[in-house]
Chains A and B, each alone.
Chain A
Amino acid sequence: MAFQNDKNELFEQMGVFKVITGLPKLKKFNSMESINSKSKNLLPYLLDLLAAIPMQLPEKPKLEKPEFLNAPDINLKFSVPSSPKNKDGNSANRILMEILTEFLPTLIKIIKEGVIQGIKAGLACGTDFTIPNPTPELTTTIDKIDLTDMMKLDPNGPAGALFGDSTKDFNRFFLDIITDGSNGNPSSQTWVDRNGAGLIQVTYNQPTSSTNNQPTITLKVADGVVNSDGFDRSGTSFHDFLVDYINSVELFSIKNVMGTMMDAMTGLISSVNGIGVDILISQNKMDEGIKKILDIDVCTDKVVIDNSFYDFGNEELSFMERNANNKSRGISVMDLGCGLVEVAVPLSILDNVGDLDTATPSQTKVILEEILITAGQSVAGVVEAPNGETVPNINAPTMKLNFDTSQILNFPSILMRMVITPKIVGLYQISHQTINNIVLNVSDGYDFSKAARTFFEYVTREALAALLEIVFNRIKKELMALISRVVIKIVKEKLKFYIGQITGIYLAKAEAAKNALEEKRETISIPDTSNLI
């Protein structure tokens, strides 16, 4: 209960501070789901807390002066940190925009570090070793590396939002090799680090009868022979290899985030590319697995993360199947505060996403706002009246807030969807081959999350921690504006009463002197001459 009590206490403290500063009291918060929840994922709670902090502080309240003090006014100059203004007052929207614009580079950096630590923790118990000679090599079917059927997408269509430039995005580089190879051209290329030194040689192998007429892919760590640049990785540190690789790839760009977000929400890209329901179910299972991981704390909860941890009941499986079927049609059924509604976003929402790669920060903000506004209007813009006319939805602000909040809550899943792609799965597989001399036998993201559970859990927690830090810092900034007002009030109060004490003494002295004069007047009978003047 201490966990829930702490969460409750924070709201109580904030309520007290709001009353002191003359702000409207908080709504009843003892029924808030995020406070009573036993989930150790604090993201929903922090978002509720942020929403409860006043965005606009009222004018400085005038301190009432007790009459008896009759103290002079004090004109103290203090600076109060200004609370950021937001025209629509939607805290979730602001956070979402901040994550996408200001904090994305930090988020990427933290997740990149998490991937390196996760691979080392999951495969080598956190230790380092030297890459052997001959350098590690694996040959496997494409589906062991492409767990989400990403390589079946058309990068020239809406799915282009999920890819980047082939010199930075390993997924696009990989797709180009597969496309060339499947067109019958011999296809083998080297992925190089930022200094141009070879890292991994990727070769497309044409289907043969021994591979059940399936094409295969060979990944080999650069040995100076397969790669034309002549750089040999044997004898070098495995850790350095991981760092060089991770630094060479663009883990994801803002364009990828928006594409993945829209696809995760309604299956926008999957539906037009004919991605199978089984893959969508596996993505749903992976998302649910992420939620389960984040709901617990392995250090305080008595839970063991084994295969059974990822099992789901019939009801959950049935829900995931329905959800996957909906997404294969490009829709999603969501509860945005007004009951379950079918939600879909137009494909045109991704029209300007490609511009994000080259946009300036201000242009990026405009494009993102357009996308989020379009998405918000799609889910909550208009409703059909009984007479058949479309009218503005009166629940739109609530639905928009819940929509933006759900995007933030889903952010760890969105990040993991971008991680479980060939650029990282390929690296994991070649690391697995190097250490265990075998390729991990997985065919989808859900299988991978179970088989590589240490890595998966590690990166998932890093992703959440990075998000929590962003939201925490925003809360801190907002709270400091509130707290500083209370501090100023206390300081002013102390000074005012101090001056009041001094004034009180002089007033008492003056009163005593007046009384003494009256007494004297009566004793010597001085005539009252005031009426003569």
Chain B
Amino acid sequence: MAANRCLDTTPPGEINFKNYKSILTGLLNLFKIPMVTQQTMPTPLILATKAKPGMSPTQIASRIISRQSEAGLSVGALPSGITSPGEIMERIRIEELYRAITSEARIDVAIQPGTTLQATGGNAGGPIQVIGTVLGIAGGNAQMT
């Protein structure tokens, strides 16, 4: 019985060089970069973030415009004296992004169970000290500014 020549017996993960699809897929897979996980910020530092000034669309736009020269673009007014439409557009873009982030974007916070809990209270028998963990999932909201 003749073997089915179109049956691909190449082990998974290997490239069948007699099959053009396998070669192209192999090359395209090279460009799939694995995601690198960002390091988590320590909790005390997160608490300290309230000192941050918050975003300013004007500051962001001006920083972008001042860095235009890195991309080989000129900065400042056009030779005719009018403001560059590109720079105006940059400001509009950042303002709209800022508006969307601060007015429309929603941040939902979920706190996983297991957070350590320490409480004091009292009753007729005297003061009570409680040490334990949160059992349920806590939720919350946040606002970017």
Residues of chain A having any CB pair with chain B under 8 Å:
3, 6-7, 9-10, 13-14, 17, 40, 42, 46, 49, 64, 66-68, 121, 125-127, 297-299, 461-462, 464-466, 468-469, 472, 475-476, 479-480, 483, 486-487, 490-491, 494-495, 498, 501-502, 504-505, 508-509, 511-512
Is the interface on chain B under 10, 10 to 19, 20 to 34, or 35 or more residues?
20 to 34
Q: How far is B23's CA from A476's CA once the two chains are assembled, in angstroms?
A: 11
**Top 10 closest A-B pairs, CB basis?**
A299-B6, A508-B51, A465-B17, A13-B31, A125-B2, A6-B24, A508-B52, A465-B18, A509-B51, A469-B17
CB 8 Å contact bits of B12-25 with A (1 = contact, 0 = none):
00010111110111
Q: Across the interface, which residues of A come within 8 angstroms of B19, CB to CB? A: 297, 299
Does A494 lie within 8 Å of B38, measured CB to CB? yes
Does A490 lie within 8 Å of B36, measured CB to CB? yes
Residue in chain A with minimal CB distance to B60: A68
Q: Which of A3, A10, A501, A511 touches B27 (beta carbons < 8 Å)?
A: A10
User: Contacts A42-B20, A125-B2 hold; do A483 and B52 have CB atoms under 8 A apart?
Assistant: no
User: Contacts A64-B67, A487-B33 hold; do A472 and B48 have CB atoms under 8 A apart?
Assistant: no
Q: Which of B5, B17, B24, B53 has the most CB of A within 10 A?
A: B17
Distance in Å: Cβ of B101 to nearest Cβ of chain A: 17
Residue in chain A with minimal CB distance to B66: A67
User: Contacts A461-B18, A479-B30, A490-B36 hold; do A468 and B45 have CB atoms under 8 A apart?
Assistant: no
B120 contacts the other chain (Cβ, under 8 Å)?
no
Q: How far is B17's CA from A178's CA once the two chains are assembled, in angstroms?
A: 40
Distance in Å: Cβ of B20 to nearest Cβ of chain A: 5
Q: Across the interface, which residues of A come within 8 angstroms of B3, CB to CB? A: 121, 126
Q: Across the interface, which residues of A come within 8 angstroms of B53, CB to CB? A: 508, 511
Does A472 lie within 8 Å of B17, measured CB to CB? yes
Does B20 lie within 8 Å of A502, measured CB to CB? no
Distance in Å: Cβ of A401 to nearest Cβ of chain B: 22
Does B6 lie within 8 Å of A505, measured CB to CB? no
B41 contacts the other chain (Cβ, under 8 Å)?
yes
Q: Across the interface, which residues of A come within 8 angstroms of B137, CB to CB? A: none
Residue in chain B with minimal CB distance to A461: B18
Q: How far is B31's CA from A99's CA once the two chains are assembled, in angstroms?
A: 26
Residue in chain A with minimal CB distance to B18: A465
Distance in Å: Cβ of A111 to nearest Cβ of chain B: 13
Does B51 lie within 8 Å of A9, measured CB to CB? no
User: Contacts A505-B51, A509-B51 hold; do A466 and B30 have CB atoms under 8 A apart?
Assistant: no
Does B28 lie within 8 Å of A9, measured CB to CB? yes
Q: Which of A3, A466, A502 touches B41 (beta carbons < 8 Å)?
A: A502
Distance in Å: Cβ of A247 to nearest Cβ of chain B: 23
User: Contacts A465-B17, A469-B17 hold; do A498 and B39 have CB atoms under 8 A apart?
Assistant: yes
Distance in Å: Cβ of B144 to nearest Cβ of chain A: 14
Q: How far is B24's CA from A7's CA once the two chains are assembled, in angstroms?
A: 7
Q: How far is B102's CA from A296's CA once the two chains are assembled, in angstroms?
A: 57
Q: Which of B21, B23, B36, B39 has the most CB of A within 10 A?
A: B23
Apart from A472-B15, A490-B33, list 5 A-B contacts with CB within 8 A: A125-B1, A127-B1, A469-B15, A495-B39, A511-B53
B9 contacts the other chain (Cβ, under 8 Å)?
no
Distance in Å: Cβ of B5 to nearest Cβ of chain A: 7
B76 contacts the other chain (Cβ, under 8 Å)?
no
Does A486 lie within 8 Å of B18, measured CB to CB? no
Does B17 lie within 8 Å of A466, measured CB to CB? yes
Q: Could you list some 12 contacts between A and B, CB below 8 A?
A: A6-B24, A10-B27, A42-B24, A125-B1, A299-B19, A472-B27, A475-B27, A479-B30, A495-B39, A498-B38, A508-B51, A509-B48
Q: How far is B24's CA from A466's CA once the two chains are assembled, in angstroms?
A: 16
Does B23 lie within 8 Å of A468, measured CB to CB? yes
Does B20 lie within 8 Å of A40, measured CB to CB? yes
Does A13 lie within 8 Å of B38, measured CB to CB? no
Q: How far is B41's CA from A498's CA once the two chains are assembled, in angstroms?
A: 8
Q: Across the interface, which residues of B come within 8 angstroms of A476, CB to CB? A: 27, 30
Distance in Å: Cβ of B105 to nearest Cβ of chain A: 19
Q: Across the interface, which residues of A come within 8 angstroms of B5, CB to CB? A: 298-299
Residue in chain A with minimal CB distance to B52: A508
Q: How far is B36's CA from A494's CA once the two chains are assembled, in angstroms?
A: 8
Q: How far is B20's CA from A298's CA once the two chains are assembled, in angstroms?
A: 12
Q: How far is B21's CA from A297's CA once the two chains are assembled, in angstroms?
A: 10
Distance in Å: Cβ of B24 to nearest Cβ of chain A: 5
Q: How far is B102's CA from A212's CA once the two chains are assembled, in angstroms?
A: 99
Does A68 lie within 8 Å of B63, measured CB to CB? yes
Residue in chain A with minimal CB distance to B7: A299
Distance in Å: Cβ of B67 to nearest Cβ of chain A: 7
Q: Which of B26, B33, B48, B63 touches A505 (beta carbons < 8 Å)?
A: B48
Chain B, 43-64, CB within 8 A of any chain A CB: 45, 48-49, 51-53, 59, 63
Distance in Å: Cβ of B36 to nearest Cβ of chain A: 6
Q: Across the interface, which residues of A come within 8 angstroms of B104, CB to CB? A: none
Residue in chain A with minimal CB distance to B16: A465
Distance in Å: Cβ of A475 to nearest Cβ of chain B: 7
Does B51 lie within 8 Å of A512, measured CB to CB? yes
Does A121 lie within 8 Å of B23, measured CB to CB? no
